[in-house]
């Protein structure tokens, strides 16, 4: 077997791409997108996706997460999933979505070969949903989740980003989804990126205590579910697991296997760093060289503790909706 090509200077091998196919979104979550929107929308064309996937597949990328913005607003999202799934070397294609358009698109996505879907959902309360997302679409999101769960091939997760304002009762209601449904619920620590800098995240310890008090002991599970860095727990009589992703407090950078391409063709070897670079998207050879060199310079760990560039026009000072999470 040939040695991995996308290896950084710390010996970490990159085999997981997060591809943000658009930075437009149909929700305006308060910690992610400004109320007035995020400005002009960038969209990756099918041709550019093909080139990116082909080059990165040939360099050793095996897993692809389609993200955004909201990936389901991309008119060719199913074609992109199909493309990714048929790219040599890529064997796992998943997608993260706010779920709003999932009910109508799930069949096409499944037919295109999608392996798993993560639905971002912070509350099951209609009013709280509106105050977080600035939209009245909870019923549509729940329809999308239901549709995903009705499939026998899709693995389903619910991702929640609790803030200090999240009522614990909302988070317990989300946890309860994993009791009778075949899904895992993950609580993701709020990261100080974009509008997330203006919010305070919830201490996961407080949530774990509330979950334990309500549902019984959280028992650590050694198995991983998917490609992410979540730490999973089981609860008595629950079908699904409960995961916690704590990127800031418990950095898992030493295991990082991820690279990111944004909808405007920006390459990031770390979610939070100052050294991304534009990709030559229309030239496969140059694209491969740029990626190989950039991966070599991947930082040892994220820089959440440090301020990024003070330049307000820096392409690194991005909203999360322009990075893709």
110 phi-psi bin (left φ>0, alpha ψ -120 to 50, beta other): alpha
Q: Are 187 and 211 in contact (CB under 8 A)?
A: no
Nearer to ligand SAM, 12 or 260 (CB): 260
Nearer to ligand SAM, 55 or 263 (CB): 263
Q: Least distance to ligand SAM from the beta carbon of 318, Å?
A: 10
Nearer to ligand SAM, 4 or 37 (CB): 37
Tell which residue, 297, 259, 273, 303, has the closest CA to residue 9: 297
Nearer to ligand SAM, 15 or 23 (CB): 23
Nearer to ligand SAM, 193 or 294 (CB): 193
Identify the burial level of 138 via C-beta atoms within 10 angstroms of its C-beta, where 0-12 means exposed, 13-18 middle and 19 or more buried: buried
Q: Least distance to ligand SAM from the beta carbon of 196, Å?
A: 2
Nearer to ligand SAM, 55 or 154 (CB): 154
Q: Least distance to ligand SAM from the beta carbon of 21, Å?
A: 10
Q: Least distance to ligand SAM from the beta carbon of 248, Å?
A: 9
CA angle 38, 270, 16 (to 5 degrees): 100
Report CA-CA distances (Å) from 299 to 78, 270, 296, 319: 33, 7, 9, 21
Nearer to ligand SAM, 262 or 290 (CB): 262
Q: Least distance to ligand SAM from the beta carbon of 219, Å?
A: 25
Q: Least distance to ligand SAM from the beta carbon of 213, Å?
A: 25
Q: Are 278 and 267 in contact (CB under 8 A)?
A: yes
What does the binding site for ligand SAM look like in residue numbers (CB under 6 A)? Answer: 25, 31-32, 67-68, 70, 96-98, 120, 159, 161, 188, 190-191, 193, 196, 320-321, 324-325
Q: Return d(Cα 300, Cα 302) in angstroms, integer.
A: 7
Beta strand residue intervals within the chain, DSSP E: 16-20, 63-67, 92-97, 116-120, 155-160, 184-188, 219-221, 231-234, 242-245, 258-261, 266-268, 277-278
Q: Least distance to ligand SAM from the beta carbon of 299, Å?
A: 19
Q: Return d(Cα 239, Cα 144) in angstroms, integer.
A: 20
> Which residue number has the CB closest to ligand SAM?
196
Q: Return d(Cα 70, Cα 98) in angstroms, integer.
A: 7
């Amino acid at each position: 077997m040939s040695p991995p090509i996308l290896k950084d200077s710390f010996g970490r091998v990159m085999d997981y791409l997060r591809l943000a196919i658009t930075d437009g979104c149909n929700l305006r979550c308060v910690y992610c997108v400004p109320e007035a929107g995020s400005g002009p929308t960038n969209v990756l064309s099918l041709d550019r996706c093909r080139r990116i996937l082909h080059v990165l597949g040939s360099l050793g990328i095996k897993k692809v997460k389609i993200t955004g913005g909201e990936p389901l607003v991309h008119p060719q999202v199913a074609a992109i999933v199909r493309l990714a799934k048929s790219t040599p070397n890529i064997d796992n294609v998943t997608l993260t979505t706010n779920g709003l358009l999932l009910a109508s698109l799930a069949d096409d996505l499944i037919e295109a070969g999608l392996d798993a879907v993560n639905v971002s959902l912070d509350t099951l309360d209609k009013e709280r949903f509106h105050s977080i997302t600035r939209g009245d679409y909870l019923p549509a999101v729940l329809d999308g989740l239901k549709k995903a769960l009705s499939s026998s091939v899709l693995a389903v997760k619910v991702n929640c980003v609790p803030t200090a304002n999240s009522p614990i009762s909302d988070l317990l209601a989300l946890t309860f989804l994993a009791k009778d449904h075949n899904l895992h619920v993950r609580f993701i620590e709020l990261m100080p990126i974009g509008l997330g800098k203006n919010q305070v995240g919830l201490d996961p310890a407080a949530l774990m205590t509330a979950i334990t008090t309500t549902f019984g002991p959280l028992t650590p599970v050694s198995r991983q579910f998917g490609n992410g860095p979540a730490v999973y727990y089981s609860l008595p009589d629950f079908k699904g697991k409960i995961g916690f992703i704590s990127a800031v407090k418990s950095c898992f950078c030493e295991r990082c296997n991820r690279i990111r391409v944004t909808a405007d063709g920006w390459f990031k070897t770390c979610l939070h760093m100052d050294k991304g670079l534009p990709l030559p998207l229309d030239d496969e050879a140059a694209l491969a060289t740029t990626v190989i060199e950039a991966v070599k310079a991947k930082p040892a760990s994220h820089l959440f503790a440090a301020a990024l560039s003070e330049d307000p026009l820096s392409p690194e000072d991005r909203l999360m909706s322009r990075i893709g999470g």
